Amino acid sequence: MLSKNIETALNKQVHIEAESSQIYLSMASWSETHGLEGISKFMYAQSDEERVHMLKVMKFINERGGHAQVTELKAPKTNYETFQEMFEELYKHEVFVSNAINELVHIALTEKDYASHNFLQWFVAEQIEEEAQAKNILDKIHLIGDDKGGLYLFDRDIQQPNVKGSK
């Protein structure tokens, strides 16, 4: 059985995952309208992945005797000056999500809720991957600079199956 404190914290995470999905969906749309097909596919896949994370938390809450809440979401940003700016925001957002997961782990340990702690370990590992991927992408973008040929290759490469999250 979840304590009210953990249930509230997990529901906050449901909200964060839902907003993450919306943010990446908006990034996908922006990319698509700017001829960045590979980046767009990558972002659509990221959006789907965040929705899966949200559902995972919701099911856990409900299975543990809580009540998962669906809440209103704030509209995400819809315009970016550059694709570099967009990926910088993606990285900052992943760091924000990691911090939220870490706070959840702290609450679970403080309340000695080892079932929730165990459940959250998957998210801890996932966020390590997400942050590393975002940092790796930013590193590549900085190498490209203003080179249009480099952007073309980056856009093509990011949709390849070896990039986590791409489809």
Spatial distance between the Cα atoms of 31 and 33, rounded to a whole number of angstroms = 5
- Tell me the pLDDT tens digit for each residue of 14-41: 999 999 999 999 999 999 999 999 999 9
Tell me the domain boundaries of the chain: 4-157
pLDDT on residue 160: 72
Q: How far is CA 33 from the centre of its chain?
A: 22
DSSP string, 111-156: TT-HHHHHHHHHHHHHHHHHHHHHHHHHHHHHHHTT-HHHHHHHHH
Note the pLDDT of residue 130. 96
Binding residues for Fe cation, by number, are 17, 50, 53, 94, 127
**pTM: predicted TM-score of the whole model, two decimal places:** 0.92
Q: 86-98: string of b/e by CB count within 10 Å (b at 16+)?
A: bbebbbebbeebb
- Tell me how far apart the alpha carbons of residues 24 and 134 are, in angstroms, rounded to a whole number: 13
Say which CATH architecture domain 4-157 belongs to: Up-down Bundle (1.20)
Q: pLDDT, tens digit, for every residue of 121-160? A: 999 999 999 999 999 999 999 999 889 899 999 999 998 7
Phi, psi of 10, deg, nearest 5:
-65, -35
Assess whether pLDDT exceeds 70 at residue 163: no
Averaged pLDDT score across all residues of the chain: 94
Do 116 and 123 meet the contact criterion of CB atoms below 8 Å apart? no
Would the pLDDT of 165 be above 50? no
- % of the chain surpassing 90 pLDDT: 92
**In 10 A of CB 21, how many CB atoms?**
21
Q: Say if residue 74's pLDDT is above 60.
A: yes
pLDDT of residue 159: 83
Q: Which residues are annotated as a binding site?
A: 17, 50, 53, 94, 127
| Angle (nearest 5°) at CA 129 between 105 and 53 | 60
CB atoms within 10 A of CB 53: 24
pLDDT at position 86 over 50: yes
